[in-house]
Amino acid sequence: MNAEQPPATTPDLYLYDRSGKRYSLDDPRWRGEDGSPLAVSALPGLRPEQIDTGERSLWRYHAALPVPAGRRVSLGEGCTPMIPVDWGGRRVHFKLEWFNPTSSFKDRGVSVMMSHLVAHGADRVLEDSSGNGGSAVAAYAAAAGIRAKIIVPAATSEAKILQARAYGAEIELVGGTRDEVADEAIRQSEQIPYASHNWHPMFIQGTKTIAYEMWESLGFTAPDNVVLVAGAGSNIIGCDLAFGELLDAGQIDWRPRLFVGQPEHWATIADTFNGVDPAGRGERMPTIAEGASIAHPVRLPEVVEAVRRSDGAAYAVPEAEIHAAVRALSARGLYAEPTSSVAAATLDHFIASGAIAPDETTVVVLTGAGLKSTEKMAAVFAEHGDGAQEASSAR
């Protein structure tokens, strides 16, 4: 791939930080001078005739992306199935993101982010991740023919590191919490371009394509509800961006409500939304949904505002409900990792509360495959023998 010259960018587009300061799209920075995360200025929403129907990847929506499609780094990400499932007597759509190349939704954001970085001359990238994000960055760096360094918590299981190693990434283990690992990555970003799925504005541009797919799959209409698990909240912001673009373009008639779930001891987004002091929960306990165990989401204000703007809601999910959701999904043939299963537990909660009505169109996003968390999946089913009896009763 020729990355000697950066692509021309649309003059109307720019990056901006929370202070309102603007930066060129060609600026290699990944955060603002005020230390806040960056966002891309508003893009026009897509019309059906602008979809590149000959492209079977998220790049079919390249007209809504701020990265030239001709410089893409792609492994065929996106276009994941959205299947109807009988869930307690009601029809619910499940978006199966493990059909992405590295088996998680992270491929969407990484494809767009990596395309941007490589087109602007990056020959090496840095990421900090305990799992899916690192695997995705390693894979797309390999596809682009550049080097990747992934910084991971020292306690990360070797099985989760293996995938990134297989793609040829350099792995550095760092002791301490997930947030301390991120701090180390930020220090090293002074020497290596930072391909952070939490910080980089182009990652969010990739995640928004999941909402465009929902729109297209539903016959160019919006669902009533989208149910998501949140760690850093990139899928929430992505859905907010895409549905906002479509609404402004007159392509949908309403903004879908976003219902968000987080593990109860790592529910910073849910607690902030609900006006609860996260410190009141006491010591943070380990969760089986490790992909959502982020204490300090970088884009916390933006995520909370996205949920509010949608007239949605957020829920701190007890650990037992996450375990039950893993089994209930598996009983329907959906082998979702525990982090993904938080979304199913969230669905149950808002169905029970009456917030999600039976006659509404609801999409639940399952972000990653159970095969990526074999040890934790085994622990869930060991609690109840093979799990078959309890899971089948959930039908």
**Where is mean pLDDT largest: 4-13, 355-364, 377-386?**
355-364
For residue 255, the tally of other CB atoms under 10 A from its CB is: 17
Answering whether pTM is above 0.85, one says yes
Please give the share of the chain, as a percent, with pLDDT higher than 70.
94
Helical residues (DSSP H) of 295-337, grouped into ranges: 300-309, 319-330
pLDDT on residue 280: 80
Q: Strands across the sheet with 124-128, in order?
A: 124-128, 147-153, 170-174
Look at 143 and 372; give whichever has higher pLDDT. 143
Which tens digit of pLDDT belongs to each residue from 35-46? 999 999 999 999
Cβ contacts of 342 within 8 Å, gap of 6 or more = 229, 261, 262, 263, 289, 292, 317, 322, 325
Closest listed residue to residue 226, CA positions, set 238, 239, 241, 216 = 239
pLDDT tens string 203-242: 999 999 999 999 999 999 999 999 999 999 999 999 999 9
Question: Tell me, what's the pLDDT at 386?
Answer: 55
pLDDT, residue 124, reads 97
Residue 263 β-bridge partners: 317
Tokens 């494809």 correspond to 111
In this prediction, residue 394 has a pLDDT band, given cuts at 50, 70 and 90, of: very low
What does the mean pLDDT of the chain come to? 92
Give the pLDDT of residue 391: 44
Q: What is the pLDDT of residue 341?
A: 98
Strands of the sheet with 22-23, listed across from one edge = 22-23, 15-16, 39-40
